[in-house]
Amino acid sequence: MLLKMLLGFLCGVLALAAENDTAQQDPPPLLLVSFDGFRADYLQRFPMPNLKLLYSQGVLVEQLTNVFITKTFPNHYSLVTGLYAESHGILGICISNMYDPVSHKYFHVNNDTDPMWWSEAQPLWLTALDHGYKTAAVMWPGSDVTIRNRTATHFFPYNPAVTFRQRLGNITDWIQGNGTEQGVKFAALYWEEPDRSGHIFGPDNNTAMGEALKEVDDNIGLLVSELKRTGLWGRVNVLITSDHGMAQCSAERLIRLDDCLPSENYTLVDLSPVTALIPHKDPEATVALLNKCHKHLTAYLKKRIPDRLHYRNNERVQPVILIADEGWTIVQRGNKLPRLGDHGYDNSLPSMHPFMAATGPSFRQGYRLSSLHSVDLYPLMCHLLSVTAQPNNGTLTKARCLLTAEKCWDVSLMVGLVIGVLLVLTTLTVLFRFMSSRHRPGPRPFQRLQVDDDDDDDPLLE
């Protein structure tokens, strides 16, 4: 009976989880906003009243573990595909390059609209189209590319001169729609700060970064005001996040590549905190030489890149990659520091982590999570939009805790708990039976009946 009750409880948990996965019939619109280079701890270091008011009415994820390489293009594409860089194929960019050994094409930040680079994955603005929704993307990396012969319903070619107010104005117009055109259900909006200031001044410059983050917070205030003015506030789910953080660099922390390896011995593909190169001689010997060169530099053959980085299984990954320690900069030669702040480092570093805040009718109020993986935002957004997610590397298990209509069940945890309880009860039952068998009196041994030989006491002999 006890076993049946526990199994019934387990089935109820699974049924509840399945029920929670049932999408809404008419979901609210979703607006995804990214402020490039917003390091998670900026929230503690700088006053941001508008952002803090927003997530006090919604949810905050204090740190997102983003994908490696911690650059702008890979992480923005991961946010809208739920895939690691090795799976979606955008392996670099933000003052960096890529090379495709099959097509022999080079990818540069000023030459990034070739669909070949982007078509290994389908972004959310296309998946939502498949479900009959209108979509929009403003300046989001990849959004002005014809991916699998399609674009979002509304998009702009990238132009950094377009102000945040102008970008936002178009978004709100598209979400509202008009009498003849349905409003968009999913919109993605990108803004370049505080990344731009972080590169120029470094994240440790409190004065400069304070000014940059005040501008960011003012833009968040503008976002809220515009949503209220148009009547969209409270009717739209708003998700604010970023792609990566920022580390402080110094001219005293330079790694000169040509001091390690003569330039005629390699072809340089990308030069950043993560450097990619094609060796002209034995790759094994090249990696061994590089690993002896500098204590703050680690070189990997492609096949030995650690599994946890999810950066090995793509033909665009070069034969050798070099990863600098946090705050160290790889240059080819000389003593010039290219940037006071940089990113691209190991995605396990807190300095590389962004954050996520959200509010709207689908989100809880005043709720916090300490951490989440950035690839988990994709299945969350698909759930909010009631669309079927493409295959991805994320999970809704933890992210569902952010939602007001969801029971925050961790099914795997509940299954483990039930199995553990069953094992304990089984053990106790066996022990109880064993102890009972030891104390129960057994059958008495056979004894011969003794008869008294006194004839006087035997009435039959009288």
CA 304 remoteness from chain centre: 23
β-pair partners for 256: 331
Residue 360 gets the label, from left (phi > 0), alpha (psi -120 to 50) or beta, of left
Residue 87, classed as helix, strand or coil, is helix
CA 462 – CA 452 distance, rounded (Å): 16
Residue 441, classed as helix, strand or coil, is coil
Q: Where are the alpha helices (DSSP H) in 154-201?
A: 164-176, 195-201
Give, in order, the Cα–Cα distances in Å from 205 to each of 192, 194, 202, 247: 18, 12, 6, 11
Dihedral angle over CA of 237, 238, 243, 248, nearest 10: -150
The one catalytic residue among 70, 72, 241, 275: 72
Residue 253, burial from CB neighbour count under 10 angstroms (0-12, 13-18, 19+): middle
Let me know if 72 is a catalytic residue: yes
Task: Report whether the peptide linkage leading into residue 255 is cis, meaning its omega lies within 30 degrees of zero.
Answer: no
CA 426 – CA 409 distance, rounded (Å): 25
Q: Convert 174-204 to b/e letters by CB count within 10 Å (16 or more is b).
A: bbeeeeeeebbbbbbbbbebbbebbbebbbb
320 contacts 297 by C-beta, under 8 angstroms? no
Kindly report the number of other CB atoms within 10 A of residue 232's CB atom: 20
Residue 461, classed as helix, strand or coil, is helix
Q: Enumerate the active-site residues.
A: 72
